[in-house]
Amino acid sequence: MNIRRLLDSIVTRLLALALLIVLTGSLTRYYALSAFLREDLGKVVEAQQLALANYVAHDIDEKVAQREMLLNRLARDVPRPLLEDPARLEQWLRGHYDYQPLFSIGMLVLGLDGMAIADYPIAPGRRQISFADRDYFHAALSGRSYIGKATIGRATKVPVLPMSVPIRGADGRVQGVLVGITALGAPGFLELMQHSRIGNHQDSFLLISPRDRQFVAASEPDMILKPLPPPGANPLHDKAMTGWRGTGITINAKGVEEVCGVASVPSAGWFVVARIPSKEAFATVDRVKQFTLRNTLLALGVFTLITCCGMYIVLRPLFVTARHADRMTRGELPLEPLPIHRNDEVGHLISAFNRLLHKLDRHQVELARLAHHDPLTGLPNRALLTDRLQVAQAQAKRKGNALALLFMDLDGFKTINDKHGHKAGDKVLWLVAQRLSAIVRQTDTLARIGGDEFVLLLSDLDDNAEDIARTVAAKCLEAFAEPFPVGGADCALGISIGIAIGSGLSTPDQLLQAADQAMYRVKKTGRSGSETIRV
């Protein structure tokens, strides 16, 4: 018992609270802040990588498209007779090359056998080399321009990118192939990708050809023209090979985690990868972790101060409870349960107060229900009917609609009451309420206003209000077609219905009086039925 009281003591809780504040604060800052910074900084770095990839890809795309456009224009302009005159064809190439030297290695014209007819600038031995096995040569022979596979030039022995277009005769047939060759390391071609840097790392960009499954260019020189890693080595690379473009974090083929951005080079069918190692991208997160650990030591130094403040925090619910209860007793706040935060003396006091408040509230709810509902049938009573009738009348006045009031009195109920007793009569009244409730809409109000008298309020009616009221009255009469089981026997009951049709100009009392008068007229006939009066 003493141990339990010690555990529930305010002093014990105070010491535990002080320790918990220090430990929780430190751990929360260390883990939550680190995770938040990594996620938030990751979005920034990914956006940066994608912007860089798009910038480089756009630059490469423009340069490739510019060379392809130039080559197509020259193929259209080359004089066809010069294909038979290599010397003059070489002069023609020189004139156009000097004017716009986009192809750093030069241009050459190949014959249909794949041998060079003329080239400029002249590369020693190039005219003795056959290019018949090159992919760009076969593509041009088939009649289409083509960006060849990046490879090591046969004449220059450096990494090059060849392009080709067909030279057609007047009959549309291919008479030769115009080829332009650019060194991958040529100034003004891929230098934006090869010499740009992100942070302290040089290997930041990759230019990849999915068609040829090779690295066309890279910031890391030993990766140029190397084949791509096998599928599965880099999940993000595998997605990019299928056409995906965007940003993400992945593990490369060397096992290094990277933040990557992928963008397309449409003219060549390539894509650019801008990448940065996660270790460098999230270096700020590591520094924040170290900062948090240092702050933990400082937090321990203010432990005594937190303990003093904790005393106030522990006792604060008692002060709040007393003030809250005082304001409720003065009517400044609604009666509502107080929150229970602990299982100590304050908690027991608040719990007892809440139980007392709950009982009081339950009694008030029951009294409110009894004040507005009939205890036997559960239907609204006269007071609630009056309130709803006033609301319906105001609504009808505002909208210009009509409303109807059906005043119903049971025929033959007194006989049942006298013959079988009040309990049987009460059961019949309950059954009547059930049958009538099954007829009315949810927006209508069925009330018992005393004895065997019921009133049905139909609101928000249109110009056919009288027809609707008569239809509802007919359904009410039908509900009494079946006898009521009373004391082991079936007893027949009738109902007399007086209908009053009113508008927003009629008062609630006028409607009730008119419906009551109409009901008595039906009553005098000695049979169940209904009669309608307009107010």
* Catalytic hit among 374, 387, 452, 516: 452
Q: What is the C-alpha to C-alpha distance for residues 520 and 531, in angstroms, rounded to an integer?
A: 9
What stretch of H or E contains 388? Answer: helix 382-399
User: Exposed (0-12), middle (13-18) or buried (19+): which is 521, by Cβ within 10 Å?
Assistant: middle
**Token digits for 484?**
């009521």
Residue pair 120/93 in contact by the 8 Å Cβ criterion: yes
> What letter would DSSP give residue 84?
G
- Decide if 452 is catalytic: yes
Instruction: Name residue 163's beta-bridge partners.
Output: 147, 180
Phi/psi at 486 (nearest 5 deg)?
-135, 120
Q: What is the C-alpha to C-alpha distance for residues 17 and 229, in angstroms, rounded to an integer?
A: 56
Q: What is the C-alpha to C-alpha distance for residues 366 and 359, in angstroms, rounded to an integer?
A: 11
In angstroms, the first-to-last Cα distance of the chain is 78
3-state secondary structure 289-343: HHHHHHHHHHHHHCHHHHHHHHHHHHHHHHHHHHHHHHHHHCCCCCCCCCCCCCC
Q: What is the C-alpha to C-alpha distance for residues 301 and 305, in angstroms, rounded to an integer?
A: 9
> What letter would DSSP give residue 498?
E
What stretch of H or E contains 496? Answer: strand 494-502
In order, the DSSP letters of 182-227 are EETT-TTTSHHHHS--BTTBS--EEEEETTTTEEEEESSGGGTTPB
Residue from 46, 58, 47, 102 nearest 192 by CA: 58
Residue from 473, 470, 468, 442 nearest 455 by CA: 473
* Residue carrying structure tokens 């071609």: 189
**Token digits for 448?**
């018992």
Q: What is the C-alpha to C-alpha distance for residues 427 and 486, in angstroms, rounded to an integer?
A: 8
Q: Which residues contact 146 (CB under 8 A, 6 or more apart)?
A: 135, 136, 139, 140, 163, 164, 165
- Catalytic positions: 452
